[in-house]
Amino acid sequence: MPLPIPDRPGQLFDNADSFAMVFDEAWQRQQRGSSWQALSPEEKRRIVLEACADHPFVLSQPAMARQVADFRIRLLGF
């Protein structure tokens, strides 16, 4: 289930910016898990993408969503 945009609950948009916000929040939430550090970067990306699987951008442009995810991971320093 996608996470809502904090200042606009329930609003998700079919674009990279909306997806990036949701991806970042899901990434941060997953980091709190005890086994997170033991996972490979690919496993981490897969888990977070699965958490965002029903975001409109992932549904309409899955390949681009993976590229955005990789970009966000680099920006987040992981």
Q: What is the pTM of this model?
A: 0.82
Q: Provide the mean pLDDT of the chain.
A: 88
Q: Does 37 score more than 80 pLDDT?
A: yes
Q: What is the 3-state secondary structure (H, E, C) of 7-34?
A: CECCCCCCCHHHHHHHHHHHHHHHHCCC
Look at residue 1 in the predicted model and tell me its pLDDT.
46
The residue with greater pLDDT, 27 or 9, is: 27
Look at residue 34 in the predicted model and tell me its pLDDT.
85
Hey, where are the domains in the chain? 16-75
Residue 44: count other Cβ atoms within 10 Å of its Cβ: 18
Q: Does 77 score more than 90 pLDDT?
A: no
Q: Does 26 score more than 60 pLDDT?
A: yes
What is the band of 8 on the pLDDT scale with cuts at 50, 70, 90? low
